[in-house]
C-alpha cells in the first residue's frame, strides 16, 4: 500500500547556504537528523521566486502559467490597476484535493494561495492572502467550528503580527519578539490538530523566516552594504531558524516510524544592494514612456497619501479594508499611486516597479484602455527592442549592468494563463553579491540609478528591506521508501506534487510539469541478514 502518512513542513524562504551552516554548527539538530537519515538537496523555485506562485506550483505540480497564480496581485485587463488574487483564481487541482478525493484524511495549514479555504479537505487554515492581516479570522478556517474550538483554548493562527509597512523606531525589537511568539503559537495549533487526530497528509507552512530575512538581513550579514551592528538584533534571523527546528522536533515526536517527512522551502534568501533602479525613468529616457506634467499631481498626491495611510493606519484596519466592499477603492488608490504620474495616452511601455520582481507592461491596443502598440509584429518588435536595450544598459557612473536578463512571459511562465504575468519579467543584477531593487520613479525628475540615503537603508517593506529572495530553496526528505539521493539531485518545486503523490501511493495525474522522482520500497532484509544470505549463496555457487 505504500506510505500512508506524510508530513510536509514548509519553511518559507529557508536558504540552502544558511541552513547548511546552521546544521554544521549544531543549531538545527532535528533538521540535521532528518538529513542524516534521508536526503537534502537544493530546490529550484519559480521565476520569479515569489511565495504565492512558488508554493502553488509545489502543490499543483504545474507552473504559474498553468495554475494561474502568477503573483499576489494581478493586473485588471480592463484598467490600469491591480487586484488581489485568491484561491478562486487557481486553475489547477492541488495535492490536498487529490488526496482527499482518494479517501485520505488531509490537513493543510498556512499554505499561501488557499484563501478562501478549500472545503474539499478535512482541515484547512488558509495562508495569508494579504501581508496586512494579523490573525486568521473564522473565514480562514474549514471547518468553521475549528476556529471556535481553538479560541476556547486560547489558540489562534497568526499572520505575522507586525505591520511591515510601518517600520520605525523600536519596530525591529518588537518584531523579533513577535516572530518568535508566532512560531510558538503556530506550533501549539499544529500539535493540537496533528497529535489530536489521524491524518494521512498533513502540511503546514511557517512564514517567519521570510519576514526575518527581509528585515533582519542587515543585522545578520556583516558584509551587507546595509549592515547595522546591534548585539540584541544580530542573531534574530538564526534564532527564528532555531525556533522552527524546535517546532519540527515537537511535530516529529508524535509520528510513527513509518511516516515520511518533507521539509521544504519555496525559495532562499540573500542580501539587498544599497542601489536602486527606477525603471520608468529609464523607459522615459528611451522614449517609450511619458510622465504627466502638472496634471500628474493627483497621482503624486495619491502616492503620498497611500504611503502615509500605510504608515499610520493600524494593520487590523488595513486588513479589514482589503476584505470589505471598499477593497476596490483601496486598490484604485494604489493604482493611482503607481501609475497616476504616467501619461498613459502617450506611453508605449511602463513598469509596475515591484521592488524584487519588477515587470514591464506593453500598452497594447485592444487590451489596455489607452493602448498604442498594435498586437502582432509591432508588439513583438517593441519587446525585442526593450530587451536588447535594457540588457545592454549600464550604470553611467560605475559601468555595471542593471539587469541579468529580461524575459518574455511566455518563455518563463508558459501556459494558458501567461497573460496574467507582465509582458516582460526583469531579473535585476547583483552588485558585489547584493541584489538591486526597483524603486518608484514618482516623476521624471531624479536619477535612473541611485544610491539610497542612510535613512532609507532600513525601513518598510519595499526598498527598505535588507534581504531579498533568491531562487534556490531547500528540500529535506526522510522516510522508509525514499532512496538516499537517487532522482532527487535536480529537484524543482513542481516535482514536489508527484513526489508526494507517489509517497502516498496515489496515481499521479498526467500532464504535470513536475516529474516523478525515484523511490524504493522498504528493505526486506537488514544489512546483517543480507551479508549472511550473500555468503550462503556464494557457498552454493550462485554468486
Q: Looking at the structure, do residues 220 and 352 belong to the same domain, yes or no?
A: no
Assess whether pLDDT exceeds 60 at residue 8: yes
CA–CA dist 437, 440 (Å, integer): 10
Rounded to 5 degrees, what are φ and ψ at 405? -165, 160
Assess whether pLDDT exceeds 60 at residue 453: yes
pLDDT for the residue numbered 77: 75
CA–CA dist 328, 84 (Å, integer): 9
The model's pLDDT over 458-476, given as tens digits with 9 standing for 90+, comes to 999 999 999 999 999 999 9
pLDDT for the residue numbered 505: 92
CA–CA dist 513, 370 (Å, integer): 36
CA–CA dist 220, 518 (Å, integer): 38
pLDDT for the residue numbered 148: 96
**Summary mean pLDDT of the chain:** 89
How many structural domains are present in the chain? 3
- Cα–Cα–Cα angle for 8, 9, 12, nearest 5°? 130
Rounded to 5 degrees, what are φ and ψ at 389? -70, -40
The model's pLDDT over 478-488, given as tens digits with 9 standing for 90+, comes to 998 775 555 57
Among candidate residues 445, 466, 487, the one where a domain is terminated: 466
pLDDT for the residue numbered 521: 47
Question: Mean pLDDT across the stretch 191-195?
Answer: 94
pLDDT for the residue numbered 294: 57
> How far from the centroid of its chain's Cα atoms is residue 215's Cα?
15
Assess whether pLDDT exceeds 90 at residue 68: yes
Q: Specify if 532 maps to a domain.
A: no
Q: Specify if 371 maps to a domain.
A: yes
Q: Is 78 exposed, middle or buried (0-12, 13-18, 19+ CB in 10 A)?
A: exposed
CA–CA dist 340, 326 (Å, integer): 20
Q: Looking at the structure, do residues 203 and 241 belong to the same domain, yes or no?
A: yes
pLDDT for the residue numbered 314: 54
Assess whether pLDDT exceeds 80 at residue 157: yes
Q: Looking at the structure, do residues 331 and 375 belong to the same domain, yes or no?
A: no
What's the pLDDT band for 295 if we cut at 50, 70, 90? very low
pLDDT for the residue numbered 440: 95
Q: Which of 418, 57, 402, 15 is nearest to 216 (CA)?
A: 15
Q: Specify if 535 maps to a domain.
A: no
What's the pLDDT band for 537 if we cut at 50, 70, 90? low
Q: Which of 374, 369, 372, 419 is nearest to 79 (CA)?
A: 369
Cell of 384: 525585442
Assess whether pLDDT exceeds 70 at residue 335: no
- Cα–Cα–Cα angle for 436, 439, 443, nearest 5°? 145
What's the pLDDT band for 520 if we cut at 50, 70, 90? very low
Q: Which of 259, 258, 211, 256 is nearest to 236 (CA)?
A: 211
Q: Looking at the structure, do residues 233 and 361 belong to the same domain, yes or no?
A: no
Among candidate residues 443, 466, 489, the one where a domain is terminated: 466
Assess whether pLDDT exceeds 90 at residue 529: no
At a CB cut-off of 8 Å and minimum separation 6, what does 149 contact?
none
pLDDT for the residue numbered 134: 77
CA–CA dist 477, 472 (Å, integer): 16
Question: Mean pLDDT across the stretch 374-386?
Answer: 98
The domain in which residue 244 lies consists of: 6-267+471-503
Q: Percent of the chain having pLDDT more than 70?
A: 84
CA–CA dist 340, 415 (Å, integer): 31
For the chain, the residue count is 543
What's the pLDDT band for 296 if we cut at 50, 70, 90? very low
What's the pLDDT band for 325 if we cut at 50, 70, 90? low
pLDDT for the residue numbered 52: 96
SS (H, E, C) 250-298: HHHCCCCCCCEEEEECCCEEEEEEEEEECHHHHHHHCCCCCECCHHHHH
Question: Mean pLDDT across the stretch 513-538?
Answer: 62
Assess whether pLDDT exceeds 70 at residue 317: no
pLDDT for the residue numbered 2: 46
Question: Mean pLDDT across the stretch 45-52?
Answer: 96
Q: Looking at the structure, do residues 114 and 222 belong to the same domain, yes or no?
A: yes
Q: Which of 291, 206, 294 is nearest to 12 (CA)?
A: 206
Assess whether pLDDT exceeds 60 at residue 522: no
Q: Looking at the structure, do residues 138 and 65 belong to the same domain, yes or no?
A: yes
Q: Looking at the structure, do residues 209 and 308 belong to the same domain, yes or no?
A: no
pLDDT for the residue numbered 1: 42
pLDDT for the residue numbered 373: 98
Q: Specify if 243 maps to a domain.
A: yes
Element (H, E) at 529: helix 527-539
The model's pLDDT over 195-215, given as tens digits with 9 standing for 90+, comes to 888 999 999 999 999 999 999
Assess whether pLDDT exceeds 60 at residue 305: no
Of 71-80, 127-136, 351-360, the one with minimum mean pLDDT is 127-136
At a CB cut-off of 8 Å and minimum separation 6, what does 415 contact?
62, 63, 64, 65, 66
Assess whether pLDDT exceeds 60 at residue 232: yes
CA-CA-CA-CA torsion for 525, 491, 123, 51, nearest 10 degrees?
160
What's the pLDDT band for 143 if we cut at 50, 70, 90? very high
Among candidate residues 466, 489, 514, the one where a domain is terminated: 466
Residue 188, CA atoms < 13 Å, CB-side half-sphere: 14
The model's pLDDT over 347-376, given as tens digits with 9 standing for 90+, comes to 999 999 999 999 999 999 999 999 999 999
Q: Specify if 524 maps to a domain.
A: no
pLDDT for the residue numbered 322: 58
What's the pLDDT band for 389 if we cut at 50, 70, 90? very high
Q: Looking at the structure, do residues 439 and 363 belong to the same domain, yes or no?
A: yes
Cell of 375: 498586437
Of 104-113, 267-276, 513-522, the one with minimum mean pLDDT is 513-522
Please, are residues 254 and 202 in contact by the beta-carbon 8 Å criterion? no
Assess whether pLDDT exceeds 80 at residue 288: yes
| Prediction pTM value | 0.89
Q: Specify if 528 maps to a domain.
A: no
Amino acid at each position: 500500500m505504500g506510505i500512508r502518512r506524510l508530513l510536509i513542513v514548509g519553511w518559507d524562504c529557508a536558504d540552502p547556504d544558511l541552513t547548511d551552516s546552521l546544521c554544521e554548527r549544531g543549531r538545527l539538530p532535528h533538521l540535521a537528523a532528518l538529513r542524516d537519515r534521508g536526503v537534502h538537496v537544493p530546490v529550484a523555485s519559480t521565476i520569479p521566486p515569489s511565495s504565492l506562485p512558488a508554493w502553488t506550483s509545489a502543490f499543483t505540480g504545474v507552473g504559474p502559467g498553468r495554475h494561474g497564480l502568477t503573483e499576489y496581485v494581478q493586473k485588471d485587463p480592463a484598467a490600469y490597476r491591480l487586484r488581489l488574487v485568491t484561491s478562486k483564481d487557481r486553475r489547477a487541482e492541488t495535492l490536498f484535493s487529490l488526496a482527499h478525493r482518494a479517501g485520505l484524511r488531509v490537513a493543510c495549514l498556512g499554505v499561501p494561495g488557499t484563501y478562501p479555504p478549500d472545503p474539499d479537505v478535512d482541515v484547512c487554515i488558509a495562508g495569508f492572502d494579504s501581508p496586512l492581516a494579523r490573525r486568521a479570522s473564522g473565514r480562514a478556517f474549514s471547518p468553521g467550528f475549528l476556529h471556535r474550538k481553538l479560541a476556547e483554548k486560547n489558540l489562534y493562527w497568526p499572520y505575522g503580527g507586525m505591520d511591515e509597512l510601518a517600520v520605525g523606531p523600536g519596530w525591529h525589537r518588537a518584531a523579533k519578539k513577535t516572530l518568535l511568539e508566532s512560531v510558538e503559537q503556530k506550533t501549539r495549533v499544529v500539535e493540537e490538530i496533528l497529535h489530536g487526530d489521524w491524518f494521512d497528509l498533513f502540511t503546514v507552512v511557517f512564514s517567519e523566516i521570510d519576514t526575518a530575512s527581509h528585515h533582519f538581513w542587515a543585522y545578520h550579514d556583516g558584509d551587507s552594504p546595509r549592515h547595522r551592528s546591534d548585539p540584541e538584533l544580530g542573531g534574530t534571523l538564526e534564532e527564528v531558524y532555531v525556533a522552527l527546528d524546535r517546532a519540527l522536533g515537537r511535530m516529529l515526536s508524535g509520528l510513527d516510524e513509518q511516516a515520511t517527512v518533507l521539509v521544504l522551502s519555496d525559495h532562499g534568501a540573500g542580501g539587498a544592494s544599497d542601489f536602486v533602479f527606477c525603471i520608468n525613468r529609464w523607459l522615459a529616457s528611451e522614449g517609450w514612456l511619458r510622465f504627466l506634467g502638472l496634471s500628474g499631481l493627483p497621482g503624486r498626491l495619491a502616492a503620498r497619501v497611500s504611503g502615509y495611510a500605510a504608515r499610520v493606519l493600524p494593520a487590523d484596519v488595513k486588513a479589514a479594508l482589503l476584505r470589505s466592499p471598499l477593497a476596490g477603492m483601496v486598490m484604485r488608490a494604489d493604482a493611482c499611486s503607481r501609475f497616476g504620474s504616467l501619461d498613459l495616452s502617450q506611453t508605449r511601455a511602463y513598469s509596475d516597479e515591484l521592488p524584487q520582481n519588477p515587470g514591464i507592461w506593453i500598452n497594447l491596443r485592444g487590451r489596455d484602455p489607452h493602448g498604442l502598440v498594435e498586437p502582432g509584429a509591432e508588439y513583438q518588435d517593441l519587446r525585442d527592442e526593450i530587451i536588447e536595450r535594457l540588457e545592454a544598459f549600464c550604470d553611467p557612473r560605475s559601468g555595471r549592468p542593471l539587469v541579468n536578463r529580461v524575459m518574455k512571459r511566455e518563455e518563463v511562465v508558459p501556459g494558458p494563463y501567461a497573460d496574467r504575468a507582465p509582458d516582460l519579467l526583469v531579473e535585476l543584477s547583483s552588485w558585489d553579491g547584493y541584489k538591486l531593487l526597483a524603486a518608484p520613479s514618482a516623476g521624471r525628475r531624479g536619477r535612473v540609478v541611485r544610491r539610497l540615503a542612510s535613512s532609507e537603508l532600513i525601513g518598510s517593506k519595499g526598498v527598505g528591506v535588507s534581504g531579498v529572495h533568491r531562487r534556490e530553496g531547500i528540500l529535506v526528505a526522510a522516510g522508509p521508501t525514499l532512496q538516499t539521493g537517487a532522482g532527487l539531485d535536480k529537484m524543482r518545486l513542481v516535482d514536489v506534487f508527484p513526489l508526494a503523490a507517489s509517497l502516498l501511493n496515489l496515481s499521479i495525474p498526467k500532464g504535470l510539469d513536475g516529474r516523478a522522482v525515484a523511490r524504493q520500497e522498504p528493505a526486506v532484509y537488514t544489512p546483517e541478514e543480507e551479508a549472511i544470505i550473500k555468503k550462503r549463496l556464494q557457498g552454493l555457487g550462485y554468486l
